[in-house]
Amino acid sequence: MQSLTNRAKQVERKPMTFIEKLYLWNILKGMFITFSHIFKKRPTVNYPEKTRPFSPVFRGLHVLNRDEEGRERCTACGLCALACPAEAITMEAAERKIGEENLYREEKYAARYEINMLRCIFCGLCEEACPKDAVYLSETPAPSNFTRESFIYKKEDLLIPDPKTETEELKKAKGLN
């Protein structure tokens, strides 16, 4: 039969000599490769004590942004839910009442906002669709869990700490201290 490539080797089937039967030389050869790795740079890191640096375009868990005054930016326009290919985002909107101007930036806001992380594929299309700079994908990778319920992220889980009243928490969330 004609071979497909010219790289095929003829198999040698002659019996092994006594020295070869001892395997000593082959074991030494193998051990040399093994011990030579002691002197090489380690390719692994001790997670979770050490973490690898993330790429600047890494897309992790979502956050819902606030403006400088601590008001929620999201106005429940539904563009993130429309753009979402996995249909992970759902929301319900409400009208801002008089006296709530310090809580919500626009006249309409998201009373309920949920991201189903079981469905989310972290494509970042919601971030691109958002006209109000409200939803961002952070550098935190999605944590694992034993229950499915814990993967439904509600508005309270997604909102960043208030930059006016919770400055310490915000610093911590940004990883500054």
List of residues contacting other proteins (CB under 8 A): 75-79, 81-82, 90-97, 100, 106-108, 111-112, 114, 116, 131-132, 148-149, 152, 154
Q: Which CB sits closer to other proteins, 79 or 160? A: 79
Q: Which CB sits closer to other proteins, 83 or 170? A: 83
Report, in Å, the least distance between residue 161 CB and other proteins. Answer: 20
Q: Which two tokens stand for residue 8?
A: 């095929």
Report, in Å, the least distance between residue 69 CB and other proteins. Answer: 18
Biggest CA-to-CA distance, the chain: 95
Report, in Å, the least distance between residue 4 CB and other proteins. Answer: 40
Q: How far apart are CA 24 and CA 163, in angstroms?
A: 68
- Beta bridge partner(s), residue 90: 114
Residue 31, Cβ neighbours under 10 Å: how many? 10
Report, in Å, the least distance between residue 106 CB and other proteins. Answer: 5
Report, in Å, the least distance between residue 120 CB and other proteins. Answer: 14
157: three-class secondary structure by DSSP:
helix
Q: Which CB sits closer to other proteins, 117 or 160? A: 117
Q: Which two tokens stand for residue 155?
A: 């508005």
Q: Which CB sits closer to other proteins, 112 or 172? A: 112
Backbone angles phi, psi at 27, to 5 degrees: -65, -45
Q: Which CB sits closer to other proteins, 79 or 137? A: 79
To the nearest 10°, report the CA torsion of 160, 166, 169, 171.
Answer: 90
Helices first, then strands: H and E counts in the chain: 6, 5
